[in-house]
Amino acid sequence: MYVKNYLKMDELKNGYLYKIIARNAAYGIWKADTRGFIISRIKFGSNYIFEEYHYDCEAFATAQPLEEIEKSPFDTENFVYDNEKAVLDYLNKFEKDRDY
C-alpha cells in the first residue's frame, strides 16, 4: 500500500515510536543511523525484532511513517541487543490494536 503524504526522513526523531504502513508492522521505532524502523515481527509462530527501512531508502524499503506516537523508553544505540524482550513487549502493546 502506498500513501502519498507520509513523513520524510528529515522529519523523524531518533528513538521515537511512529505509526507506520509497512509490509510487516503498523508501529516502529525510528533508528536514524540505519534509516529504518525497529518492529516486532511474527513469522511462523516466532516473534522477533526486525528492521523495515524507510520507503525513500531503497527499492525494497516499505515503511511509510504516518504519525509520531511518543518517545520510546529505549536508547537506540544498542537497544535491540541489550533489551530485545522489553522492546518486543513495548511494540507488541501497540501492535495488538493494529487496525489493518
Degrees (nearest 5) of the Cα angle 6, 96, 90?
A: 80
Report the 10 Å Cβ neighbour count for 37. 28
Domain ranges of the chain: 9-95
Cell reading at 94? 501497540
Looking at residue 74, its pLDDT comes to 85
Looking at residue 36, its pLDDT comes to 93
Degrees (nearest 5) of the Cα angle 90, 55, 60?
A: 100
pLDDT < 70: residue spans in the chain = 1-2, 77-81, 97-100
